[in-house]
Amino acid sequence: MTDHLEAPAARLDSSTLETLPADIARPAYARSQTMPGIVHLGLGAFHRAHQAVFVDDCLNDAETGWGIIGASLRSSDTRDALAPQDGLYTLSVVDGGGERLRVIGCLLRSLVAPEDPDALLQAMTDPGVRIITLTVTEKAYMRSAAGDLDLAHPDIVWDLANPRQPTTIHGFLAEAISRRRAAGTVPFTILSCDNLPANGATLKRLLVAFATARDEALGAFVDSDIAFPSSMVDRIVPATTDEDRARIAARLGVSDAWPVTTEPFLQWVVEDNFPAGRPQWERFGVEMVRDVAPFEEMKLRLLNGSHSSIAYLGLLMGKPTVSDAFSDPLIRRFVSRLWAEAIPSLPADAGLNPQAYTAELERRYDNPALKHRTAQIANDGSQKLPQRIIAVALARLAAGGSARHLMLAPAAWLAAAQARGRTLPASHFTDPLDPVLAEIFAKNANAGQTARAAFEAAGFAAGSPYREELVDLTASHLNALRRNGAEATLKELLA
């Protein structure tokens, strides 16, 4: 907590809910009469500021069969914070006009998968549970560099040999499906809410591969009987700080161990394919559509691509938050050029409005109340850049266009990664390729050799006839960043 605000002695929970000030929104339903209908894997801040809010809206509208059981797949931190609060937590929505607080009550129970895998499996096999949602990291999908399931990964090897004690999303999903199938329970729908292209189809392909490796009949069942709708999610959710906790506690009059702070903007586009039923999310702003792909492409290429670029350039220029970085005229102009390169790669006949979308993004990035840390966005770049930047650059080159601005992003990623332990703190952000990157950087090679080695390690543009052109563009930018720094590199690029 901050020194100037002492935490209240009482804590947010069911007994203190009614003592909150009148301007704090709270559940309008009886939580004791709410039944679980969704199990969520990956109980982090984003889920609690996004999907959980829409579910809470439905519960407030008397759809009482859609409570959430959340599961953390690694750490017990979220459970330890929220269990003493009966799953209650505060949603803080901030912008230049101030802060609005709302207590969310849809999280009925929190589990920690490594502590008790069977407790999570029991929740997933409950006949009342009809949807499994996921917000996990890209690396949790256990993909190889080629994009297939990494059957040699130690965790996958373990799960195949020990199906009743799974550790991965694939192991939990396959075992729950197997148990429900044996019991004659209606199959649940699996809804990925992660920033992956065609996330539903991607998860289906990986899970079918896992289930088939375990049992061919189970793989066939997953392929034919389980629905995997795709979805596109969008809301900026910075990491919660002690200052957030102290400020929110002062407003509530009770302490909240883990509130979440976010922006007013909220978007969820979902493929409407739920054989076992779903909440009426569309009543609260969710776009239920036949095809998510165009919306997903626009978000990945315009929001996520610019986010990664802002993060790495911001780190190199000493900008701790997105709003700090975007307020720099050079970064702002660069992002505008990046969008100009990316927009022609979007489908022209899908009803998209990229100009309006980027105008909204500018307003969101300018929000000074939202302390979205560039270091947070910078994590896992080798997993994020292929769909956010590399795919767009390949599309541009295939169409005869330029990818010069786009390829500054992977160059800035490499420069920022190499700056850790030098001009940036050693653990400022992390990447699954950190051990390999450390070996690459230790060679003190020139920019071309570094870029080529990083492309090989990350699998960027593998098999593409344009790969060498992307390597050369990245190397040119990396050389400029190393010799002149980010500010001078941007000035030259934008001249």
Gap between the Cα atoms of 98 and 392, Å rounded: 37
Q: What is the mean pLDDT of residues 369-374?
A: 88
For domain 17-289, the CATH superfamily is: NAD(P)-binding Rossmann-like Domain (3.40.50.720)
Domain pair 17-289 / 293-494, same fold: no
User: 206, 168, 231, 189: which is closest to 42 by C-alpha?
Assistant: 168
Q: What is the mean pLDDT of residues 386-400?
A: 96
Q: Is the pLDDT of residue 92 over 80?
A: yes
Q: Is the pLDDT of residue 227 over 90?
A: yes
Q: What is the mean pLDDT of residues 242-271?
A: 96
DSSP 388: I
Of residues 146 and 104, which shows the higher confidence score?
104
- Looking at the chain, the whole-number percentage of residues with pLDDT higher than 90 is 92
**What is the pLDDT, as a whole number, of residue 4?**
47
Gap between the Cα atoms of 189 and 131, Å rounded: 5
**What is the pLDDT, as a whole number, of residue 3?**
43
Average pLDDT of the chain is 95
404 three-state secondary structure: coil
User: DSSP assignment of 285-299, as one string?
Assistant: T-EEES--HHHHHHI
Which architecture, in CATH terms, is 293-494?
Orthogonal Bundle (1.10)
Phi-psi category of residue 473: left, alpha or beta, with phi > 0 → left and psi -120 to 50 → alpha = alpha
**What is the pLDDT, as a whole number, of residue 197?**
78
- Looking at the chain, the whole-number percentage of residues with pLDDT higher than 70 is 99
Q: What is the mean pLDDT of residues 46-56?
A: 98
**What is the pLDDT, as a whole number, of residue 370?**
82
Q: Is the pLDDT of residue 5 over 70?
A: no
**What is the pLDDT, as a whole number, of residue 195?**
82
DSSP 343: G
Q: What is the mean pLDDT of residues 389-409?
A: 97
Query: What are 308-367's pLDDT values in tens digits?
Result: 999 999 999 999 999 999 999 999 999 999 999 999 999 988 888 999 999 999 999 999
**What is the pLDDT, as a whole number, of residue 7?**
67
User: 78, 79, 76, 71: which is closest to 41 by C-alpha?
Assistant: 71
Q: Is the pLDDT of residue 169 over 90?
A: yes
Give the dihedral of Cα atoms 291, 293, 294, 298; nearest 10 deg. 150
Mean pLDDT check: name the lowest of 107-111, 192-196, 340-344, 349-353: 349-353
- 292 and 263 Cβ atoms separated by less than 8 Å: no
Query: What are 438-491's pLDDT values in tens digits?
Result: 999 999 999 999 999 999 999 999 999 999 999 999 999 999 999 999 999 999
Phi, psi torsion values for 262, nearest 5 degrees? -150, 180
Domain ranges within the chain, ordered by starting residue: 17-289, 293-494
DSSP 234: E
Q: Is the pLDDT of residue 53 over 70?
A: yes
Q: Is the pLDDT of residue 25 over 90?
A: yes
DSSP 389: I
Query: What are 323-337's pLDDT values in tens digits?
Result: 999 999 999 999 999
User: 185, 181, 43: which is closest to 120 by C-alpha?
Assistant: 43
CA distances from 411 to 162, 224, 301, 310, 433 (A): 42, 43, 17, 12, 15
